[in-house]
Amino acid sequence: MARSLDGLVLSPVADQAPGQVGTRTRFTYHERDGRIWAEYTGGDVVRGHLVGTREADTLDFRYVQLKQDGTTSGGHCVSAVTELPDGRVRLDERWEWESQDGSGTSVVEQLAP
């Protein structure tokens, strides 16, 4: 199992569609007793939150966000946690909106210290 996510700051390695998270978005993760949560902001996202669980190296969470244009949206994501050769954490994500149409994949990596 990869190390704890508690206190780590991660960012997408590529931009998603306009109005979604992108390389300027920063996620600050917290983890305790199999529970995970994070706050995120940056780019088109004014404020976002996610909350869910971790079992071994799989995260399962819901997310909700407020965008610059004042709209809100939310969805569900399952992520595989891996550790990169340099010791940083990587999340390979499969997500789907629940408040609108759309789904996809993304990669989020821990920022270098």
Average pLDDT of every residue of the chain: 93
CATH fold of the domain at 9-110: Lipocalin (2.40.128)
- Taking the domains of the chain in order of start, what are their residue ranges? 9-110
- Closest by CA to 90, choosing from 37, 44, 27, 24, is 27
Mean pLDDT across the stretch 56-61?
97
Confidence of residue 17 (pLDDT cuts 50, 70, 90): low
**In this predicted structure, what is the pLDDT of residue 19?**
56
Of 7-11, 12-16, 45-49, 83-87, the range with the lowest mean pLDDT is 12-16
